[in-house]
Amino acid sequence: MKLDRIIRKARTISERYCVTDGGKFDLGRIDPGDTGGLKAEDKPRAREALQSGVQALAALQDMLYAQDRWAVLLIFQAMDAAGKDSAIKHVMSGVNPQGCQVTSFKVPSAEELDHDYLWRCQKGLPERGRIGIFNRSYYEEVLVVRVHPELLERQKLPAGLVGRKIWEHRYEDIRNFERYLSRNGTLIRKFFLHVSKQEQKRRFLERLEKPEKNWKFSAADVKERDYWDDYMEAYEDMVRQTAAGHAPWYVVPADNKWFTRIVVSAVVIEALGSLDLKYPEAAKEKIAELVAARRALMAQK
């Protein structure tokens, strides 16, 4: 399939899940089981489409790298077992590892807690020409920390700065940070992989039952399910407060992994396709240099 056609198709898919104006965003209206009208029997076709997507992405990334103007930041947020890792693995499987870097943000270390919360994220930002993937991000500061405000104590903030308005301030700072990045040539796309509580339970049970998945199981993750509704509220508020044209949220149905990957792949292709990427053209002097080099090489034995 031609690249242009794939980009057009990707745009149609990604638009359905895109939130650029969070004002009226209602998470309750998004069905985690949605498959965009595709059925289980369409899976093989979906797999083929994903494969063409992977190739298209590789071609676009090659130009992104060569052009060396834009940086691309992809942010992934989700409840546990929503499929962040596998979506990243599948969608990025064809790209040149040199042009792509993944940073996973875990519970902050003592050194990280000695700094403002954006510090550790800034260190992972992609250079021009590269795709940077954040597996979790500074958004944890308005998700897990909001659901468990006692975590704020570990952050060693001066007392006067931790007040009723702290979440409002964090949204504002995040909005400003993303505006700043976009004004400096970083294209931002944010994914919330939306899994249902029921499907999460099924995946946790699978982690318990299959020996090769045991390592992924954590009893703390099961406890965290008690806070499900608080998390959903925090996610909804996060999208409402931080969706923007230059930094949209994609709320991706995540109960069916094959469909999640299609949507994520479409969004990344659409994003790169929107950049008008081209290979840099060689300047006149450069062409003369190439011709001379060719002549010199041909003259050698």
Positions touching ligand ATP (CB under 6 A) are 80, 85, 105-108, 135-136, 140-141, 144-145, 151, 216
Binding to Mg ion by CB under 5 A, coded x per residue (else -) over 74-93, reads ------x-------------
Which is closer to ligand ATP, CB of 62 or CB of 221? 221
- Per-residue tokens: 274: 């929107």
CA atoms within 13 A on the CB side of 295: 6
Q: Does residue 62 bind Mg ion (CB under 5 A)?
A: no
Q: What is the DSSP letter of 279?
A: P
Taking the complex as a whole, the smallest distance from the CB of residue 220 to Mg ion amounts, in Å, to: 8
**Among ligand ATP, Mg ion, none, partner that 136 touches (CB below 5 to 8 angstroms by kind):** ligand ATP
Select 20 or 214, whichever has its Cβ closest to ligand ATP.
Answer: 214
Q: Which is nearer to ligand ATP, 42 or 80 (CB)?
A: 80
Report the residue number, 14 or 260, with the smaller CB distance to ligand ATP: 260
Q: How far is the CB of 26 from ligand ATP (least distance, A)?
A: 24
Q: Which does 24 bind (CB under 5 to 8 A by kind): ligand ATP, Mg ion, none?
A: none
Q: Between residues 18 and 118, which has the closer beta carbon with respect to ligand ATP?
A: 118
| Alpha helix (H) residue ranges in 138-251 | 144-147, 166-183, 197-209, 219-223, 228-242
Contact partner, 58, from ligand ATP, Mg ion, none, Cβ < 5-8 Å per class: none
Residue with CB nearest Mg ion?
80
Token look-up 């450069």 returns 286
Strand ordering across the sheet containing 18-19: 18-19, 249-253, 186-194, 71-78, 131-135, 100-104
Which of Mg ion, ligand ATP, none does residue 39 bind to, with CB < 5 to 8 Å depending on kind?
A: none
Q: How far is the CB of 216 from ligand ATP (least distance, A)?
A: 6
**Residue owning tokens 């060569």:** 66
Q: Which long-range contacts (CB under 8 A, 24 or more apart) does 58-62 make?
A: 58/94, 58/95, 58/96, 59/3, 60/3, 60/269, 60/272, 60/273, 60/277, 61/95, 61/96, 61/99, 61/100, 61/131, 61/272, 62/96, 62/99
In whole angstroms, the minimum distance from the beta carbon of 208 to Mg ion comes to 15
Q: For 23, list phi and psi in degrees, rounded to 5.
A: -35, -55
Cα separation, 87 vs 102, in Å, equals 13
What are the residues binding Mg ion (CB under 5 A)? Answer: 80
